[in-house]
Structure 1
Amino acid sequence: MKLDDSTIEKRLLHLPDWDYFDNALHAEFEFENFKDCFSAMSRIAFECEALNHHPDWTNVYNVLKISLSTHDAGGVTDKDFKLAQAIERIVEPEDE
């Protein structure tokens, strides 16, 4: 079920790396190098398969841009927040 804007904004308080616009959650992560970025993408891919939910993403060298929305619901749902939280757990160690 699609979430309303105020619910999305409240939930984003727990995900400071993410923004909400164009009916989707968006984040951009920068890594030390391409290898670290691709490694994170591989770990995220396993999480996506487990959740059966897949991002729109692009990668240029060490930067990963991710956009999450639930296409069949026409916007952001719980699935998107679950995947965003999983992505955070994966990329967070890279920032240390």
Structure 2
Amino acid sequence: MEQSKHVLVPKSVSASQIVIKKASKIQGLSEEERGHLLPLLRNAQWVEVVGRDAIYKEFIFKDFNQAFGFMSRVALQAEKMDHHPEWFNVYNKVQITLSTHDCGGLSQRDITLATFIDQASVL
């Protein structure tokens, strides 16, 4: 049995202006996808995190400005994807961990963002 959900809106808002999005379930990577995609990421120096379904990579830049520029490019893409990295930055070093909290592990979103991150690191 489905429960109905009630939303209170101001009288000045018409029903045609209301959009309710249903949350989509994000799927974790299948074993087949893992077997195909994780070796490609390993070749690009991403490593699997011990004790956690996540990937990690460290980037080293010439200086803080290059590291910050890289982080800005990644932040803009992450916001567009609504998928945000766990990261840590000190001076010219950026450490990134990717995992999808909604599915409790790696998903296609992590693969897509990791690919973008690698491309953004060489700009």
Q: TM-score, normalised by structure 1?
A: 0.87
- Write the mapping of 1:6-85 to structure 2, written as runs, cut at 5 A: 7-15=33-41, 16-21=44-49, 22-85=52-115
Does the Cα contact within 8 Å between 1:24 and 1:69 map onto a contact in 2? yes
- Of structures 1 and 2, the one with the larger relative CO (CA 8 A, separation 6+) is 1
Shift of 1:23: 1.1
SS in 2 for 1:73: coil
Q: TM-score, normalised by structure 2?
A: 0.69
Partner Cα separation in structure 1 for residue 73 and residue 31 of structure 2 = 29
Q: Which deviates further from its counterpart, 46-55 or 9-18?
A: 9-18
Identity of aligned residues (%): 38
Partner Cα separation in structure 2 for residue 74 and residue 6 of structure 1 = 18
Listed as ranges, the gaps of 5+ residues in structure 2 are 1-26
Shift of 1:9: 4.8
CA RMSD, Structure 1 to Structure 2 (Å): 1.5
Listed as ranges, the gaps of 5+ residues in structure 1 are none
Give runs of ≥4 in structure 1 deviating > 6 Å.
none
Larger radius of gyration: 2
